[in-house]
Structure formats: structure tokens, C-alpha cells
Amino acid sequence: MIISSREDRLVVISDLHLGNPFCHSKRQIVEFLANAIDEGYSICINGDGLDIAQTSFVQLTREIPEVFGQLKRATRKGQHVFYCIGNHDILLQHLLDDWGLFTVVPFLNVQSGNKRFHIQHGHDYDPFYTNSPGLYEFATHVAGYFLNLSPDLYRVWIAFERFRGHLRGRQRGIIAEPPSFIEAADEICQRGFDGVIFGHTHHPGVVELAEGALYVNTGSWLLRPHFAEINRGQLILKSWPETSPVAPS
């Protein structure tokens, strides 16, 4: 299994959740992929690109063709397309691998310039997911039911998580994330990496670690889209479509 690659230029996106009743970003995803391919970037979808835990199959079939068409265009041009498995698409791992459109990996280590970066969806560092997987799966399906009733409940939940994060007071890491994520990023960088890119939490942000390393979370494309750009050893979090860099917190 390929888990390492040398990439001068790579973009990383996560949590597209194609098929989710709240997903209304297909056009932005297609435009982003087309732009990245035209600019010569390889692509990494860092988990939960497809959502089979909270799926509307009708919406999924509407959204997949154009997105996959762009990814096929990338491979035809000789650019790499990686897919790191997340918790919402884990059951599709073998299907995705069999399609031959992606290089499917549990995580990806990237050498770019003289820097090394570790890319992983991050659900393995979510204490709720790891400590109570059955309950987590049940809660995910229940949330999908409520999203079908009113997709805007997702906005309420994200706002609640951020509010709860602010109530905890100033803490190291990205607001609304469990401390386990920044702790995992610290530990991974101590193994010789210059940056770590997670998704999963749906909260984008950048945190400076020791010795100039960075922890980046690319957030979710369900609200305000973000992506990580690796360009000849430089790691930057940007928003889309304005491509504004996000400053470290």
C-alpha cells in the first residue's frame, strides 16, 4: 500500500460530504478541482468526500459525476489523486480502491521540498469516536435523520460547538476541537514531520507547533470551504474561492 509520496504541489480538501442533505457545494468543488488541476496540483481528498452515513442517494448520484470527471481529468494529465479514508466513507474503502480513480490510503506522508507532512482524516483522535464507536455511529445516523428534516440544524450545531469552545476559555488548539487533536499533531511532528493536516472536526484553523511545525485543519465544505496548499515545502491554509491565507491562531 502506498502511504508516501513526493509532491512539489498538492492541495488537500476534506469533509465534502457529497450526498449529505446539507451539501450544496458541488459547483464550488468542481470549480476548485478544475482550477487546481489547471494549476498543476496533485489532489488529496482527506476523508468524508462521500457521505454514506447520512446519505441521500438521489443527491449522491447527482453530485458524483462532475466531481469524479475532474478527478479523472487530473489522472489523465499525470497528476496524482489520493483518497484518505474517513469515518463517513470507511465502508466504501474497497469500492473506491477498485474504481482505480484514486490512490486509497489510511493516511499519507508527503515529501515536498525539504519538508515532510502527514495527512490523515483524524477520526482516530476523536475521543467520542474511539471510546464509544457504537454510540457515535448511532448519533451520526440520528443526526442524518434531523438533517433531512432541516439541513440548517447543521449550522446550529457548528455554532454551538464554537460557543462551547469559547466558554472553555483560551486553550491551545483550534476553537471547538477536543485537545486530543493538537496533542496528536504535536506527537506526529516529534517523529520528524514539519506539519500535520487533519479534517473530521469541521473547524478550519492553523496552529503553530514547536520548531516551526504547523497543525492545519481543513474544516468542511458544508459551510465555508477551505483547503490546505503544499507548494514546494510551504504549507498554507486558504479559503475558497477567494484563496485568502488563514493566519495561525
- Express each pLDDT in 192-231 by its tens digit: 999 999 999 999 999 999 999 999 999 999 888 999 999 9
pLDDT at 177: 92
Q: Whole-prediction pTM value?
A: 0.92
Separation CA 159–CA 165 (nearest Å):
10
74 near 43, Cβ under 8 Å?
A: yes
pLDDT above 90: residue 70: yes
187 confidence band (pLDDT: 50, 70, 90): very high
pLDDT at 169: 65
Peptide bond connecting 241 to the previous residue in cis, omega within 30 degrees of 0: yes
45 near 78, Cβ under 8 Å?
A: no
Q: E strands within the chain? A: 4-6, 9-13, 42-46, 81-84, 103-105, 108-112, 115-119, 195-198, 205-208, 214-217, 226-231, 234-239
For the stretch 91-128, pLDDT in tens is: 777 677 767 788 999 999 999 999 999 999 999 999 99
2 confidence band (pLDDT: 50, 70, 90): low
pLDDT at 223: 85
Average pLDDT over residues 23-35: 89
48 near 15, Cβ under 8 Å?
A: yes
212 near 194, Cβ under 8 Å?
A: yes
- Name the percent of the chain lying above pLDDT 70: 96
3-state secondary structure of 227: strand
Provide the mean pLDDT of the chain.
88
3-state secondary structure of 127: helix
N- to C-terminal Cα separation, the chain = 35
For the stretch 131-183, pLDDT in tens is: 998 888 888 877 777 777 777 777 887 787 887 877 776 678 898 899 999 99
SS3 content of the chain, % helix, strand, coil (to 5): 40, 25, 40
Q: Does 230 or 55 have the greater pLDDT score?
A: 230
Nine cell digits for residue 98: 477498485
